Structure 1
Amino acid sequence: MEDIFVVKRCNKIIIHGRRAGEVNHAPPDAAVWYRIADTRTRGFIGDGYDHEEDARRECHQLNARSQVTARQS
């Protein structure tokens, strides 16, 4: 059976603000984060994860639960 939930890598740009009167500010930082996507609805599950291992672990648990539910139906 094909996995319903998959991990998607997303780009994240962190913009640093500056206070009134400051001339220089730090440039934006490029980073990544990970989200769990539902292949049926193309929606996302949860708030996202900073570490890929955490997203994969949760994704594995969601897929395992969905397979048990499908077998019981």
Structure 2
Amino acid sequence: MEDIFVVKRCNKIIIHGRRAGETTHQPAEAAVWYRIADTRTNGFIGDGYDHEYDAQRVCRQLNARSQVMVRQG
């Protein structure tokens, strides 16, 4: 049985602001975050995770629960 929930890697850009009167500021930096995607709806579950292992752990829990529900139903 295929997993319903999968971890997707997403790009994000962190913009550093500056206060009034400052003439220089730090450049934007590229980073990644991880989201759990529902393969049935192409939607996302939750707010996202900074670390892949956190997203993988939650994803495994969701898939385990969904398999139990399928077996019972």
Same fold by TM-score greater than 0.5: yes
Q: Please name the residue that 1:62 is paired with.
A: 62
Q: Please name the residue that 2:71 is paired with.
A: 71
Q: Please name the residue that 2:11 is paired with.
A: 11
Give deviations 1:15-68, integer Å, cap 9, x for gaps: 000011111000001100000000001000001000000000000000000000
Runs of 4+ in 1 over 4 A off after TM superposition: none
Q: Please name the residue that 2:42 is paired with.
A: 42
Runs (5+) with no aligned partner, structure 1: none
Runs (5+) with no aligned partner, structure 2: none
TM-score (norm 1): 0.98
Cα RMSD for the two superposed structures: 0.4
Number of matched pairs:
73
